[in-house]
Amino acid sequence: MPNSLHFEPDPKIRCREFKIGCIGAGFIMADVQLLAYAEAGFPVVAIASRTTQRAAWAAKRWNIRTVHQTPLELIEDPEIEIVDIAFPPDQQPALIRHALKQKHVRGILAQKPLTMDFSSAKALVEEASTSDKVLSVNQNMRFDQSMRVLKQLLERNELGTPVLGTIEMRAIPHWQPFLASYDRLTLLNMSIHHLDVLRFLFGDPSEIYTAVRRDPRTKFQHVDGISVSTLKFPSDVMAVTIEDVWSGPREEGFSSDIYIKWRVEGLDGLAQGTIGWPDYPNGSPSKLGYCSRRTTNGKWVHPSWETMWFPHAFAGVMEQLQFAIKSGSEPELSAADNLKTMALVEAAYRSASETRAVQLTEFGL
């Protein structure tokens, strides 16, 4: 097998020793994260949610021995070493701040978005930096298998100098009911995946231009239903991300076309693929194909794997925090790095509001 096919779509599990307490028992925790943790052997010892009944249901489903009456009670449980939060972003900061005060807590895994806006995220990250806790943010698209293999291709320079990257989404995410009370929708809760993974692939952009419109197929009020963002990077790479998060017509019997596609072109090759999670709950792996004048003689190569973004990427997210605590190193998904993603999201909203390209230097990072 040529070296160009030696990829690692999933990270190795280097640590699984720190006890986890989970806050939240909705879809993302009960159906995805806890499944990934069970398969990876992470020790989840307690759970709490907005209602005890829902937490008890999840505990029985995943054989979690302790159900706490409230999230605060769970955070104060001296057995808990990692607090794993899957709660609405307007309520998450208070839980993080409470966890920062507990001597027994060593790490916190927060859901994305970290907060509702950049300024509140900056304040929270600064508070966390003065503590001895490791704060990490669950930007799980970085652990999608096709994104990890694409990153490895770029690091090996198999595509040559990158020129253009695109992500096109025409799929329907799991919109949690609490989002109906926010005015920020797609950029903060879905585009954040794509904006963050573009940073992961190409580094920090210098500017972003974003256009949005209200989506008439979304029944609750919102500002940004459909979004299109163009990013420029100091390396001269350009990237475009499109989010159509309703993708209709979608009534029963209508053969709509739902997908997430991506493509990266370089001077010596190109890679393209699809993201598998729109097939959830049936599930399918993300796909990647690439060709390179450097390593494949211009022929298409299609690495494959059996794992999927949902649920397997979430094992990588928890593992990187476990290992950071054990090794005393910075987590791959650090809060400080995520603040740059929050700045990019805020810049996208500013761009849409002011109809101009926004420089990331405006945020002082």
| Per-residue pLDDT tens over the stretch 32-85 | 999 999 999 999 999 999 999 999 999 999 999 999 999 999 999 999 999 999
CATH number at residue 228: 3.30.360.10
Asked if 277 and 289 count as a contact pair (C-beta separation under 8 A), the reply is: no
- Strands 107-111, 82-85: pairing is parallel
Rounded Cα distance between 200 and 223, Å, is 27
Does pTM top 0.85 for this prediction? Answer: yes
- Are both 157 and 282 inside the same structural domain? yes
Structural domain including 242 reads 144-308+342-359
One-character DSSP codes across 252-271: TT-----EEEEEEEETTEEE
Q: What tokens were used for 364? A: 């002082």
- Are both 243 and 283 inside the same structural domain? yes
Radius of gyration in angstroms for the set of CA atoms belonging to the chain, rounded to a whole number: 20
Helix, strand, or coil here: 232? strand
Q: Which helix (H) or strand (E) holds 172?
A: none
Rounded Cα distance between 227 and 164, Å, is 19
Lowest mean pLDDT among 247-261, 268-282, 312-326: 247-261
Can you tell me the mean pLDDT for 232-237?
98
Phi, psi of 239, rounded to the nearest 5 degrees: -140, 145
Phi, psi of 167, rounded to the nearest 5 degrees: -130, 125
pLDDT over 60 at 4, yes or no:
no
- Are both 289 and 324 inside the same structural domain? no
pLDDT over 90 at 172, yes or no:
no
- Are both 188 and 221 inside the same structural domain? yes
- Are both 80 and 196 inside the same structural domain? no
* Residue 3: pLDDT band with limits 50, 70, 90: very low
Rounded Cα distance between 156 and 151, Å, is 9
**pLDDT value, residue 1:** 34
Other beta carbons less than 10 A from residue 88's beta carbon:
17
- Are both 299 and 327 inside the same structural domain? no
